[in-house]
Structure 1
């Protein structure tokens, strides 16, 4: 069985005139990130691999989860190709995951994350919010063959406040 956890980066700030990939998180994103990560910790069992987009807002979100879940450095990778907004590209990245990894956490961007949550899981959301987390299980042992899985957990910051 494979478990995919998709996390949309925290709410980013438009306060400064910066390139898109350098936009930082807003203060709210840190509160939401700690709340979602802390709640997810109750469901989490170790040995997940974390992959993050290199964009500041995604990477900072990923680092909050890494710290809260006590993920070792060797299980944490920054992937340039995760700076994508395209669901097809995101799906190809997910399907490229080595089969030795059973649990994969991805930190990425919309609309790719919303589209992936809706196409891979069995519950639809109009718009997956910032710092939202979705766990999808697949009755499959090869990442390249995943299709529709079962959405088992959806954590949305507004529901945890």
Structure 2
């Protein structure tokens, strides 16, 4: 509210400590009208999701995300249900350390 954002915000408590596979399943349920999603969660699930989307395997983390890191992943999909492992491209990775 303080930022003046008028879009849809949804809270899912199950994101907190879930694994990459469950996060992928959750993203596949995003309504197709949504062009962007900001997913805030915790490791190891978030690192696994970013790694899996960007061409690796969720269990073989190569996108390291220390606390407070933001990963921008571009997806070439027209429907969220079409989301799959390896379907994204890492465009930007910003860690708190890089902002100093």
User: TM-score range, shorter-chain basis?
Assistant: 0.7 to 0.9
TM superposition score normalised by structure 1: 0.52
Whether the 8 Å contact between 1:122 and 1:151 is mirrored in structure 2 is no
Higher-Rg structure is 1
Matched, 1:155 2:94: yes
Q: Distance in 2 between matches of 1:155 and 1:67?
A: 24
Pairwise CA distance, 1:156: 0.8
CA contact under 8 A between 1:121 and 1:150: conserved in structure 2? yes
| Structure 2 contact 31–80 (Cα < 8 Å) conserved | yes
What CA distance in whole angstroms lies between the structure 1 residues aligned with 2:46 and 2:81? Answer: 18
Q: How do 1:32-111 and structure 2 match up within 5 A?
A: 67=2, 70-72=4-6, 74-111=7-44
Shift of the 77–130 alpha-carbon distance from structure 1 to 2, 3 Å rule, reads same
SS at match of 1:105: coil
RMSD of aligned Cα (Å)? 2.0
Deviation >4 Å, runs of 4+: none
- Where structure 2 has 5 or more consecutive residues not aligned to the other structure, the ranges are 57-61
* Counterparts of 1:153 and 1:90, CA distance in 2: 20
Identify which of structures 1 and 2 has the higher relative contact order when contacts are C-alpha pairs closer than 8 Å and 6+ apart. Answer: 1
Deviation at 1:142, TM superposition (A): 0.8
**Unaligned stretches of 5+ in structure 1?**
1-65
Structure 1 or 2: more strand by fraction: 1
User: TM-score under structure 2 normalisation?
Assistant: 0.80
